[in-house]
Amino acid sequence: MSGTTNQIGVEETLKDFWASRPRRPRQGRKVAGVAAAIGNRYGIDPVIVRVALAVATFYGGAGVIFYLFGWLLFPEQDDESAPAEALIGRGRSSSSTHFTVGLIAAVIIAFSVGFDFNGFLGLVVISALLFLLHRSRGHLNRPVAPTTDYDTAMGPLMTVPVANTTEVPSPMTAPPSGAETTPLNTPPAYGYPNQPPAWDPLGAAPFAWDLPEPAAAMPDPEPPAPRRRSKVGPVTVALAFLFVGTAVVIEPYTGDWFSFRHIIGIVLGVLGAGMVAGAFTRGGRGLIGLAVPLAALGIAMTLVWPQGFKANGVGDVQATPRSLSEVQDVYSRDIGSINVDLTQLPTSGSVTTVAEVGIGDVTVTVPENADVTVFCEAGIGDVDCLGEERDGTDTAVDRTDLGADGAGGLKIELRAEVNGPGTVKVLRG
């Protein structure tokens, strides 16, 4: 692979990465040498790789899982193959079979304990960064497969016996008398042929007989053999549909733990496995077109609409209740804005309500003297909760404010929340 790595396709990049994947060094490593292997392979400081994996560990343990995968799939320096390959009989590795089985068990445990959508997202990000790193720096420090010593690889040189002889070749003698002789074709005078060539069988142009015979026409190149279409794509799609059908049947009996979001996640896993297999069989390109929108939908269902998306939940809500009975329990929109004005409520009594938006803005105005217990949060954005402001992703505010007149009077319990990007404001009016 040359410096023009970024001109080749995804499949070629993945194949080249596997053929020239990093090798774990025996010197200068901290644990198994995965970070050092990546740093040495692509000419970057291994400390950067270690820091990146440490940060990724906080996202569902993605850093630890990636490190274990590197331990299994990156061969050690001077080994023929990686531990996982040696386990299935492809080459030899310095890692024992029992140790490799223990690593696989550790990967399974890491997936089972605390691995969630954040962990899956972290693995995707790490893999994408490694892919981009290989595309831009894959031509650097390409590892050389270990070779055997020349003297041991080559056998002893074979000697050919030569017979000793003292016989001296005798000069050519004249043929015996009476023997038949065949006259040699004497060269034509001045180097011109005395027979017409094949292109002038009638001898009509003797002055051009010395020209070379015309070259035979080049045969047409054989058409390339048709490539066999890979079956990875259709098989993967069939497995995905089979799983979806099974999930739809069993979903009513599984309770709340198995929801539409889980179905999307597992289908994405099936498609991802198909794309990895397709990268080595030159197939499965169409799976990308299915995986991208599914991934976007899965993120939206997990982060933005955890309670599910409603087709009529788009638009704006404007509400100004004038009695406690007019206050709705929940004001909700999937996409849009909610503006609730509670300043017209009576000065006594109590009320509880929720204002929630998937993507958009929430604004609630409460009376000046009401006793308010409020929780405010935005997934990504700004929060102004009775004067306490937050921004970014850590925006949760939980507080109680008794108003200018202290305790007494109207009591309001309020939850104002934006699940995705947006703003939340709870103000006194």
The answer to whether residues 13 and 129 belong to one domain is yes
Distance separating alpha carbons of residues 290 and 294, to the nearest angstrom: 6
Contact (CB, 8 A) for 426 and 364: yes
* Burial bucket for residue 135 (CB in 10 Å: 0-12, 13-18, 19+): middle
> Which amino acid makes up residue 335?
I
Same-domain status, 326 and 359: yes
Q: How far apart are CA 359 and CA 356, in angstroms?
A: 9
Closest to 328 (Cα-Cα) out of 356, 345, 352: 352
> What is the model's pLDDT at position 178?
52
Residue 226 maps to a domain = no
Residue spans of the chain under pLDDT 70 = 1-8, 112-117, 143-194, 199-200, 203, 205, 207-210, 213-218, 224-229, 248, 251-259, 300-313
Residue 6 is predicted with a pLDDT of: 43
411 within a domain of the structure (yes/no): yes
Cβ atoms within 10 Å of 382's Cβ, excluding its own? 16
Answer yes or no: do 10 and 118 share one domain: yes
DSSP 370-401: -EEEEEEEEEEEEEEETTEEEEES---EEEEE
CA distances from 346 to 194, 336, 405, 412, 429 (A): 128, 29, 16, 11, 14
Q: Tell me the residue type at 169.
A: P
Q: Is residue 273 domain-resident? A: yes
Instruction: Please report the DSSP string for 247-277 in residue order.
Output: HHHHGGGSGGGS-HHHHHHHHHHHHHHHHHH
Residue 170 lies in a domain: no
Output the CA angle 55-376-300, nearest 5 degrees: 55
Joined together, the tokens standing for residue 409 give 């009077």
Structural domain ending residue among the three candidates 122, 137, 152:
137
**In this structure, what token pair is assigned to residue 394?**
């850590």
Question: Tell me, what's the pLDDT at 154?
Answer: 44
388-392 and 371-385: which strand pairing?
Answer: antiparallel
Would residue 288 count as lying in a domain? yes
Antiparallel, parallel or unpaired: β 314-319 and 330-341:
parallel
User: Which of 254, 276, 304 delimits the end of a domain?
Assistant: 304
Q: What is the DSSP string of 55-102?
A: HHHTTTTHHHHHHHHHHHHSPBTT-SS-HHHHHTTSS--SS-HHHHHH
Say whether both 84 and 49 belong to one domain.
yes
- Render 288-346 in DSSP notation, one character per residue: HHHHHHHHHHHHIIIII-TT---TT-EEEEEE--SSGGGS-SEEEEEEEEEEEE-TTS-
Residue 214's nearest CA partner among 201, 226, 197 is 197
In a domain, 204, yes or no: no
**Residue 291 belongs to domain spanning:** 232-304
Residues 98 and 130 in one domain: yes
| Contact criterion met (CB below 8 Å) for 351 and 411 | yes
Q: What pLDDT, on the 0 to 100 scale, is given for residue 102? A: 84
Question: pLDDT at position 162, please?
Answer: 47
pLDDT at 300: 67
The number of folded domains in the chain is 3
Whether the Cβ atoms of residue 292 and residue 285 lie closer than 8 Å to each other: no
Residues 14 and 114 reside in one and the same domain: yes
Last residue of a domain, one of 137, 157, 175: 137
17 and 57 fall within a common domain: yes
**Among 60, 63, 69, which Cα is nearest to 114's?**
60
Same domain, residue pair 323 and 297: no
Do 293 and 321 reside in the same domain of the chain? Answer: no
Are 334 and 402 in a shared domain? Answer: yes
Residue 418 to residue 358: CA distance in whole angstroms: 6
Domain assignment present for residue 223? The answer is: no
Surface-to-core class of residue 216, CB atoms within 10 Å of its CB (0-12 exposed, 13-18 middle, 19+ buried): exposed
Note whether 412 and 334 are same-domain residues. Answer: yes
For residues 360 and 297, membership in a common domain is answered with no
Residue 153 lies in a domain: no
